[in-house]
Amino acid sequence: MVEIKTDASLDAMRVAGRIVAQALTAVRERAAVGVTLRELDLVARAVLTDAAAGSPFLDYRPSWAPVPFPAVICASVNDTIVHGIPGDHALRDGDLVSIDCGASAGGWVGDSAISFTVGRARPEDTRLVDTAFEALDAGIAAALVGNRVGDIAHAIGRVCRAAGYGIPDGFGGHGVGRTMHEDPGVPNEGRPGRGMPLRHGMVLAIEPMLIASGSDDHYTASDGWSIRTSDGSRAAHAEHTVAITDEGPRILTQL
């Protein structure tokens, strides 16, 4: 079931979204060679604590997960696509990092992700990250009243495939509101004009994920959470929580 939010609810979700943006900004500023992923998680925790916000990630355990998620961010490095657990890995020069973060405030959730390189970036990694954000922008631009979920999926997929990148099947965006994962699902590839119609008051987490080699293959690591590329190629992830409104897409997870 899809909950249609009131305009007042969208304003309340913007509060949660701004906290997520603040946490991601703080994590990005702290990330440097030698800093551990666990330290980055502590940075995000401090932002959430200062804002009196909760984490929809911490202790989250869907039916397929062997253990609850132990952190407030997903920290995915190099060949990890999403859901990386932040541990004692110390960042190295040239590491490609994706950070996914959520916040709960006032009964509402925000969810967003960024990708970036620590230290000196490889040109191919810069292109991959830039394309992830280009695909996100394309998906957001298609998030219009009267369009359908398939229009968002098609817009994202077209950018990714044109650049020669893979798209991990089975992973994509989702509705968001009172909880982190709500209906509808938002694939990262699809046919235009198909799927659920978009209405004023729907809120979606739009999140392209790209695999550098062009392969779509992936697997779940032994920790039961981290999703990694099968061929060891690098991956990037970008995400915003976006409200569908009669005035156009409203990004809720930006500063």
DSSP annotation string for 116-143: EESSSPPHHHHHHHHHHHHHHHHHHHT-
SS3 8: helix
Average pLDDT of span 36-59: 98
Residues 199, 145 contacting (CB under 8 angstroms): yes
If you search the block for the tokens 């657990």, which residue do you land on?
Answer: 85
Q: Are strands 96-105 and 173-175 parallel, antiparallel or unpaired?
A: unpaired
In this prediction, residue 1 carries a pLDDT of: 87
Q: What is the pLDDT of residues 76-115, one digit of tens each?
A: 999 999 999 999 999 999 999 999 999 999 999 999 999 9
- The mean pLDDT value for 1-24 works out to 97
Provide the pLDDT for residue 72. Answer: 98
Q: What is the mean pLDDT of residues 17-46?
A: 98
What rounded mean pLDDT belongs to the chain?
98
3-class state of residue 39 by DSSP: helix
> Taking the mean position of all CA atoms in its chain, how far away is CA 206?
7
Which amino acid makes up residue 147? N
- What tokens does 72 get? 């407030």
Residue 94 corresponds to which amino acid? Answer: G
pLDDT above 90 for 69: yes
Give mean pLDDT, residues 18-22.
Answer: 98
Are 56 and 38 spatial neighbours (Cβ–Cβ below 8 Å)? no
pLDDT confidence bin for 219, thresholds 50/70/90: very high
pLDDT at 199 over 90: yes
- As a whole-number percent, the residues of the chain with pLDDT over 70 amount to 100
Cα 111 from Cα 200, distance rounded (Å):
19
What's the gap between Cα 250 and its chain centre? 16
